[in-house]
């Protein structure tokens, strides 16, 4: 993962060491469109690596995006070459999603999967009027509803933005176009879809087999910044408990330290 994350409250970004970059907004409440990967070429690859922001020489918005997507792809597909990666990224489409808007909504067909370059999401379903959060997704993680995307049938889950977020999407049509290029690209699409599926299934399996305290400890181990970024009621929903029970778990663990 890159060593910083984008802050969207005022349209500026901030790295982990506290540096700030230029505003990404063109006016009050309006996000300026950023460059999107629209074609695979050596010029595009060069642009991704060398573009600089005026206020922070050497730190680029395009490089930041490229590095997050690159590392997410290398995690899933270690053998991917630089050329293949740039071509694959050229098929992704940039989108911003406002806090509490949905990437996937229950009852609707999921036409895309996406990698998060800035922001936070949760996947959840509703059972007997109660929301059960399956897992959270942050920068560098892929999201979507695998079953709906694969079958092009209505989704059973919701994928909601918990912060103002930015994602790069792989559409179903673009994935099918990649498949037609040969088995190598078909494998790429399949591995990404399987990754999204396995993350969701492992989370739901954990909900069935582990205690709330065990899941809480596991969450802190795998996503240590979750407490700083998300309200407690979302974390309680992930653990399958109410907020007061989460407070008791936190107090209990604090006393053990």
- pLDDT, tens digit, for every residue of 27-75? 333 333 333 333 434 454 454 444 433 444 445 777 888 889 989 988 8
Residues 238 and 146 occupy one common structural domain: no
| pLDDT value of residue 21 | 42
Residues 117 and 170 occupy one common structural domain: yes
Q: Please report which helix (H) or strand (E) contains residue 112, including its range.
A: strand 112-118
Are 140 and 116 within 8 A, CB to CB?
yes
Distance CA 105, CA 157 (A): 7
Within 13 A of 162's CA, how many CA atoms are on the CB side?
23
Q: pLDDT under 50 in the chain at which residues?
A: 1-42, 44-45, 47-58
| pLDDT value of residue 154 | 96
Number of independent structural domains in the chain: 2
- CA-to-CA separations, 111 to 2, 53, 133, 170, in angstroms, rounded: 28, 33, 22, 9
Residues 110 and 236 occupy one common structural domain: no
| pLDDT value of residue 10 | 41
Residues 167 and 218 occupy one common structural domain: no
Residues 89 and 214 occupy one common structural domain: no
Q: Which of 238, 256, 19, 251 is nearest to 134 (CA)?
A: 238
| pLDDT value of residue 40 | 38
Residues 124 and 169 occupy one common structural domain: yes
Phi then psi for residue 133, to 5 deg, are: -80, 125
Residues 132 and 13 occupy one common structural domain: yes
pTM: 0.73
| pLDDT value of residue 192 | 81
């Amino acid at each position: 993962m890159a060593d910083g994350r984008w802050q969207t409250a005022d349209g500026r970004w901030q790295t982990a060491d506290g540096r700030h970059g230029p505003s990404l907004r063109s006016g009050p409440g309006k996000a300026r469109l950023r460059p999107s990967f629209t074609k695979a070429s050596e010029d595009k690859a060069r642009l991704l690596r060398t573009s600089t922001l005026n206020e922070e020489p050497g730190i680029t918005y395009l490089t930041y995006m490229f590095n997050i997507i690159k590392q997410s792809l290398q995690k899933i597909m270690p053998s991917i070459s630089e050329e293949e990666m740039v071509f694959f990224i050229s098929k992704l489409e940039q989108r911003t999603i406002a806090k509490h808007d949905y990437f996937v909504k229950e009852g609707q067909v999921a036409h895309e999967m996406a990698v998060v370059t800035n922001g936070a999401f949760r996947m959840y379903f509703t059972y007997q009027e109660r929301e059960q959060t399956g897992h959270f997704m942050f920068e560098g993680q892929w999201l979507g509803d695998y079953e709906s995307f694969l079958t092009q049938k209505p989704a059973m889950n919701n994928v909601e933005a918990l912060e103002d977020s930015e994602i790069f999407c792989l559409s179903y049509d673009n994935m099918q176009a990649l498949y037609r290029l040969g088995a190598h690209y078909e494998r790429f699409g399949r591995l990404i879809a399987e990754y999204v599926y396995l993350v969701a299934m492992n989370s739901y399996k954990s909900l069935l087999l582990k205690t709330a305290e065990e899941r809480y400890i596991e969450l802190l181990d795998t996503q240590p910044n979750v407490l700083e970024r998300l309200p407690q009621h979302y974390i309680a929903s992930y653990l399958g408990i109410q907020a007061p029970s989460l407070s008791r778990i936190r107090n209990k663990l604090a006393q053990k330290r």
